[in-house]
């Protein structure tokens, strides 16, 4: 029973953190200007419609380009 509870709790916590991450990403992207959004491959309309999918490689390549 403990294992089942821990598995369910882990999945719930993971889902909650995923939703928080998406919300914070959306908020951060909405604060960027159009040129910066274009540099990372997004349009303002994609951000408004929440049509973005960011993986670790995208973030890493963008941050490396800033150095």
Contact predicate 17/24, CB 8 Å: no
pTM of the model: 0.58
- How high does pLDDT run on average in the chain? 80
Task: Specify the pLDDT at position 36.
Answer: 92
**Could you tell me where the DSSP H helices lie in 1-67?**
2-31, 34-39, 44-48, 56-66
Task: Specify the pLDDT at position 66.
Answer: 64
Contact predicate 37/44, CB 8 Å: yes
User: Residues 15-38: pLDDT tens digits?
Assistant: 888 888 878 888 888 999 999 999
Average pLDDT (33-47) is 90
Cα gap 36→10, rounded to integer Å:
36
Cα gap 22→6, rounded to integer Å:
24
Instruction: Please give the residue that has the higher pLDDT: either 51 or 61.
Output: 51
């Amino acid at each position: 029973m403990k294992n089942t509870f821990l598995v369910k709790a882990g999945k719930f916590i993971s889902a909650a953190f995923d939703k928080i991450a998406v919300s914070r990403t959306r908020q951060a992207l909405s604060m960027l200007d159009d040129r910066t959004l274009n540099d990372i491959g997004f349009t303002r309309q994609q951000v408004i419609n929440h049509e973005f999918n960011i993986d670790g490689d995208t973030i890493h390549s963008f941050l490396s380009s800033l150095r």
